[in-house]
Amino acid sequence: MKILVVGRGGREHTIVWKIAQSPLVEKIYWVPGNLGTSEIAECRSISLEDNFAELADFAEAEKIDLTIVGPEDPLANGLIDILRERGLRAFGPDRKAAILEASKDFAKRLMVKNGIPTAVHRTFDEPDSAIAYLKEIDRPVFVKADGLAAGKGAIPGRTLDEAIQAVQHIMVDRAFGGAGDKVVIEELLVGEEASFTVLTDGTHCLPFVSSQDHKPALDGDRGKNTGGMGAYSPAPVITPELHEQVMDTIVYPAVRGMQAEGRPFQGVLYVGLMITETGPKVVEFNCRFGDPETQVLLPRMASDLVPLLEACIDGTLDEVVCDWKPEPAVCVVMASGGYPDSYETGKPITGLERANALESVVVFHAATKVQNGDILTDGGRILGVTALAGDIRSAIEQAYRGVAEIHFDKAHFRRDIGHRALDREL
């Protein structure tokens, strides 16, 4: 098979790394590509502008057997629809289904309609009534831009002032452009978060093992929220009982609900969960693999990923099984100093080979480039150093052994990835 992977981050490097191990795969193209995959995939710089015409032409000319789309933006903008119109096979939700992530208001309405547990919310399309509501309830909230905002559109409003500022930031300052035409204001949920990843063909569901992200920039979950500073799998907070509860009260109702809306959802359904005192509640739905959760999920997958993705497209997900390695996995993200605020790029990176040579360590590239033979930093999140080991403690130690080998100026990483799993062992 010839496979085309779309996207540029650590998640996509992990997908390429995983499918490169499949005996079904002869050739992998990656658009736009990143250094991490240069040896296992051919990177092509193809524009995603102009309704994806150049990409669709390329896929058609190269007779691509399967296109895998990593990030939410091309999904929300209808890349899958365009490829399917050309008779090409593509994995991911179409534009109508990707609205589950692209509009928080839509997701909330779907949840309310289908009795899916989530934070109580209200949606507003102008700031004055949003602010009047905040004054009326005067309690801690989350204020969220309705549309896609690169993971930055959810702002805590722990005090009334903070919440009003968030509304102004989103709706008046238009910090996220048109994504802030509406805001969703919801109650602040308290509990432990977990990421629940499911493949679905629109009817059947195949849940992955659990994982947990670490969103805040600094140790002890302090600092600003980022795209994710590390992840581990499994997340012990998801007990077998909770797993069943999440499938029954959240995943199946969401999949059936999307079908009932005339928006059958095919692809990855990522459920961001808060495990509250009264049970699991949905914080967000995403329509694609998590980043950096993918960096710990796919290394634990013993089965070939490609037939699973094909079964999603064919509606035969009930006919496949997925085996998992028992070993836990940990991924520590190394970022540019200053991230998620401003940071410098172009810093030379050393020690990658030594880190990759360590037993069961893989370094996934998120933002690197080559210049005159040197490997340089090229963004906020640079690398994801992942390790698998017999238990969570050893996996953490091994991942940090990998991190210790790697150097670049002002490198920033959290030193407490996996702390919740360790705390549970005490």
**CA–CA gap between residue 164 and residue 124 (Å, rounded):** 13
Q: Which stretch binds ligand GLY (CB under 6 A): 185-193, 287-295, 375-383, 409-417?
A: 287-295
Tell me how far apart the alpha carbons of residues 141 and 155 are, in angstroms, rounded to a whole number.
Answer: 9
For the beta carbon of residue 18, count every other beta carbon within 10 angstroms: 18
Helix 104-113 × helix 252-260 angle, to 10°? 100
Among ligand AMP, ligand GLY, none, partner that 293 touches (CB below 5 to 8 angstroms by kind): ligand GLY
**Region of residue 137 (phi > 0: left; psi between -120 and 50: alpha; otherwise: beta):** alpha
* Cα(350)–Cα(68) distance, integer angstroms: 31
Would you say 96 or 152 has its CB closer to ligand AMP? 152
Applying CB under 6 A, which of residues 65, 105, 293, 378 lies at the interface with ligand GLY? 293
| Residue 119 in contact with ligand AMP, rule: CB under 6 A | yes
Residue selected from 34, 37, 212, 286 as contacting ligand GLY according to rule CB under 6 A: 286
Nearest Cα to 163, choosing from 192, 190, 133, 193? 133
Single residue of 186, 291, 310, 405 touching ligand GLY by CB under 6 A? 291
119 binds, among ligand GLY, ligand AMP, none (CB under 5 to 8 A by kind): ligand AMP
291 binds ligand AMP (CB under 6 A): no
| Residue 186 near ligand GLY by CB under 6 A | no
Pick from 207, 272, 340, 380: which binds ligand AMP (CB under 6 A)? 272
Q: Please tell me the distance from the alpha carbon of residue 405 to that of residue 59, in angstroms, as a whole number.
A: 39
8, 18, 169, 215: which one binds ligand AMP (CB under 6 A):
215
Among 43-51, 187-195, 202-210, 352-360, which window interacts with ligand AMP (CB under 6 A)? 187-195
Complex with ligand AMP: residue 2 or 152, whichever CB lies closer:
152
End-to-end alpha carbon distance in the chain? 48
* Minimum separation from the CB atom of position 212 to ligand GLY (A): 10
Work out what residue 72 binds among ligand GLY, ligand AMP, none; the CB cut-off runs from 5 to 8 Å by kind: none
Is 10 near ligand GLY (CB under 6 A)? no
| 228 makes contact with ligand GLY (CB under 6 A) | yes
The option from ligand GLY, ligand AMP, none interacting with 154 (CB < 5 to 8 A, set by class) reads ligand AMP
- CA neighbours closer than 13 Å in the CB half-sphere of residue 178: 2
Q: Give per-residue burial for 105-128: e unless 16+ CB within 10 Å, then b.
A: bbbbebbeebebbbbebbbbeebe
Q: Is 186 in the site for ligand AMP (CB under 6 A)?
A: yes
By CB under 6 A, residue 118 contacts ligand GLY:
no
Residue reference for tokens 């340089």:
376
Compute the distance between CA of residue 8 and CA of residue 385 in angstroms, rounded to an integer.
17
Q: Is residue 266 involved in binding ligand GLY (CB under 6 A)? A: no
- What is the x/- site pattern for ligand AMP, positions 380-409, by CB under 6 A? ------------------------------
Q: Does 213 bind ligand GLY (CB under 6 A)?
A: yes
| Beta carbon nearer to ligand GLY, 296 or 305 | 296
**Cα dihedral sign for 398, 404, 405, 408?**
positive
Query: x/- binding map, residues 132-171, to ligand GLY, per CB under 6 A?
Result: -------------------x--------------------
**All residues at 6 or more sequence positions from 399 whose CB lies less than 8 Å from its CB, including other chains:** 330, 331, 332, 361, 385, 386, 387, 417
Residues lying near ligand GLY in the complex (CB under 6 A) are found at 151, 213, 228, 286, 290-291, 293
Residues lying near ligand AMP in the complex (CB under 6 A) are found at 119, 142, 144, 153-154, 186, 188-189, 193, 215, 225, 272, 283-284
